[in-house]
Chains A and B, each alone.
Chain A
Amino acid sequence: MDMLSARSADAAASDGQLLARIARGDKDAVTALYRRLERPLFAFLVKTLRDREAAADVLNETMLDVWRQAGRFEGKSSVATWIYSIAHHKAISWLRKRREVELDEEAVAEVADDAPGADSKIAAEDLAQAIARLMEKLSVDHRIVLQLAYFQEFSVGQIAEILDCPENTVKTRMFYARQRLRALLEAEGIEGAAA
């Protein structure tokens, strides 16, 4: 098979087929799966860690774990859910090393203190830009659930698997994440914040 045909075959293969090939030691399948997942997974890690360099490191560690553990994948969840759960686990470990999880709420409070008050209304600012900017001020748990639901488009059940928590916890986190986001928008006097 020539290189072009091999790439077409990789593109047509399902995640599960690529993972099965990785389990058999196929390094081309590693490249194919990396290329498929790199953009969304890297975006998830950048938003979670707020650090591009660290996100690249965690992406690398995650895909290396996929290589190591491919033969152990049991098919109880989708390949994407399994890989995101590895990435999430590694991202949280990285944050813990940086003690960011414990300090996250304090950091949020500090950032919130620096935010413009109700007097400096920024109604002219694009609401989407404001939401994206204020999302950075949310706690890591809240950023993660918003990212997984809105951008990665995982279901409640898949997010529960990735985060290893009950589905109701996912819904509760989403509720508080959105509530906090609305509060931050209102604190900045941004119109359209309230539903």
Chain B
Amino acid sequence: MKNEQQTGPLEPQDVEELLPWYVTGRVSREEARGIETALKTMPDLAGKLAQVQREREAVSRASEAIESAPPETLQRLLQQVETTRQWRVPKIESHGEAGGWLRAALGRNAVWQTALAAACVAIIALGVQLYNAPAGNQFNVAASINGAGGATLIVTFQPGATAGDIGALLTGMNARIVDGPKPGGAYTVELPSSQENEVEAATASLLARKDLVAGVLPAQ
């Protein structure tokens, strides 16, 4: 989110910038009050507001004049829905029910339950190993545990890929989803390392799984 709090009285430039949202009623009460005060003290502002209202009216009228989409668009969509699988990758975080997706996943079948349990054991074992590592490796240990040092990739999975397949693939690579889905269905995947050769190897491994992975890009 890119929220920027407006504090104190509005500057003349801020007032002008907000006029397009003032005419649609999409400013905060505080901003509306600031604009209304400015309208009393800035003589040329009323003319600018009238110009914004004319623009808005023109844009609305032109948009309203656009006819509906062809009826076959809905028919085509419903036909595609019949043959298109829904993506079932669990959410990154659950609102109000921490771990809900995990419980749901565990309850689905014994194979997945076993795989997840094995992954947990592997993670704990790795943690113990890292904890006991020599002092020289302490920086890497911290980076791995905190997930702060690993490179990130933007990964798009195949529509038919299941949560179990994706989970197994990422667990096998010691990688994890840290964000997503973005528009288009891409996820940000964090790798355990930011070493160039390891990132390249991980990218190649992902791309090799064409049955699960549709595309991989380095994160910005």
- Chain A contact residues, CB within 8 Å of chain B: 23, 25, 27, 30-31, 34-35, 38-40, 42-44, 46-47, 55-56, 59-60, 63-65, 67-72, 74-76, 85-86, 88-90, 93, 127-132, 135, 146-147, 149-151, 153-157, 160-161, 164-168, 171, 174-175, 178, 181-182, 192, 194-195
Contact = CB atoms under 8 A, between A and B. Distances in A.
A43 B66 contact: yes
Contacts of A89: 183-184
20 contacts: A30-B81, A31-B74, A43-B66, A47-B62, A67-B77, A67-B81, A67-B84, A68-B85, A128-B61, A131-B54, A149-B24, A151-B63, A153-B25, A155-B26, A166-B2, A166-B4, A167-B4, A171-B17, A195-B48, A195-B50
B76 interface: yes
Nearest to B72: A56
B218 interface: no
B76 A60 contact: yes
Contacts of B93: 74
A68 B184 contact: no
A146 B55 contact: yes
B2 A88 contact: no
A147 B184 CA distance: 22
B59 interface: yes
Give chain A's interface secondary structure class.
helix
A98 to B, nearest CB: 18
Given A65-B185, A167-B3, A156 B21 contact: yes
B185 A69 contact: yes
Nearest to A134: B58
A69 B66 contact: no
A131 B51 CA distance: 11
Given A30-B78, A89-B183, A157-B1, 18 more contacts: A34-B77, A35-B74, A38-B68, A42-B68, A42-B69, A43-B66, A47-B62, A55-B69, A67-B86, A131-B55, A135-B59, A149-B21, A149-B24, A155-B26, A156-B26, A160-B2, A166-B4, A195-B47
